Amino acid sequence: MAKTPNMTFHKAVTCLLVLFFGILSLPIIGQINIKAGYSFSLVHDDAIDQLVDEVNQANDYEHNLKNLRWMHGFDVGLRFKSGPHALELSYLGGYRHLLGTNPNPGGGSDIKDKLIFDTESFGLGYQLSDNHFGMGAELQYQFYYTKAKLTLPDQSFKDIQKMWATKLYLMVILEGSGSVTAVIEPYYILPTKGYDPQPLQHFMETTINPTNNKWTRFGLSFLFYNGFQ
């Protein structure tokens, strides 16, 4: 019997939680830190660019949909640190919405069409750091949410895709005041498979020949960790 997406998600999350809290139960001297911050990342997909160009031409917007080039979102987590070694359970979000508008011939508010791209990643990783620099690697389970909201006609669309990914990152650690430390974290994310644009293509009725491209991302997070480091 084929496994449902929900079963896959539950198993992935259960595996990450069991590994994290299983290691916490070991007799290791360390401390738990809370991570909170914000992230910006670069993303590019030729298939999405082609789709956006065709939608712009078909609707002749006064203000066109822009291409998908970057995303932003919260970066939060829980870290168990013992000496230079640490294990981190994290959440990384990425969000971007593209807006096309035309004047309303009947007056009132503009006619607006939206394409919304949203990624959510849950990860478990290992981190090695000293007082000034660090590095880490993380296994992620990702969700790709794609939404469309059209005005004329009034239609909406939602698609969810799931996949594993690897995140690699460096850390520049800045001395904070008291028990808070600031971190600048450049990172690179490599998914295991490509994003499938066909569901969105079918809804938008475009004629492009879509290809599945991996959403590899270079990003930068600005983070704060509580607790003594």
pLDDT tops 80 at residue 219: yes
* Pair of tokens at residue 120: 């959510």
pLDDT tops 70 at residue 121: yes
Name the residue among 191, 166, 141 with its Cα closest to residue 12. Answer: 141
CA 72 remoteness from chain centre: 8
What integer is the mean pLDDT of 145-163?
94
What integer is the mean pLDDT of 159-175?
96
Whole-number pLDDT of residue 19? 57
CA–CA separation, 137 and 187 (whole Å): 10
What integer is the mean pLDDT of 120-139?
95
pLDDT tops 60 at residue 79: yes
Q: Which residue has the higher pLDDT, 48 or 210?
A: 48
Question: What is the pLDDT of the chain when averaged over all its residues?
Answer: 88
pLDDT tops 90 at residue 196: yes
Q: 87-124: b or e for each residue (b if 16 or more CB lie within 10 Å)?
A: bbbbbbbbebebbbbbeeeeeeeebbbbbbbbbbbbbb
pLDDT tops 80 at residue 64: yes
What integer is the mean pLDDT of 95-107?
90
Q: Which residue has the higher pLDDT, 154 or 18?
A: 154
Local confidence band at 7 (pLDDT 50, 70, 90 cut-offs): low
C-alpha torsion sign, points 147, 38, 125, 137: positive
Local confidence band at 3 (pLDDT 50, 70, 90 cut-offs): very low
* Cβ atoms of residues 14 and 208 within 8 Å: no
Whole-number pLDDT of residue 177? 66
Sequential DSSP letters for 128-167:
EE-SSEEEEEEEEEEEEEEEEEETTTTEEEEEEEEEEEEE
% of the chain exceeding 90 in pLDDT: 71
Length of the chain: 229
CA–CA separation, 133 and 102 (whole Å): 50
* Cβ atoms of residues 110 and 102 within 8 Å: yes
pLDDT tens column, 20-44:
555 544 444 568 899 999 999 999 9
Local confidence band at 106 (pLDDT 50, 70, 90 cut-offs): confident
pLDDT tops 60 at residue 6: no
Phi/psi zone of residue 82: left (φ > 0), alpha (ψ -120 to 50 degrees), beta?
A: beta
Q: Where are the chain's structural domains?
A: 32-127+137-226
What is the third-level CATH fold of 32-127+137-226?
Porin (2.40.160)
* Cβ atoms of residues 199 and 193 within 8 Å: no
What integer is the mean pLDDT of 60-83?
95
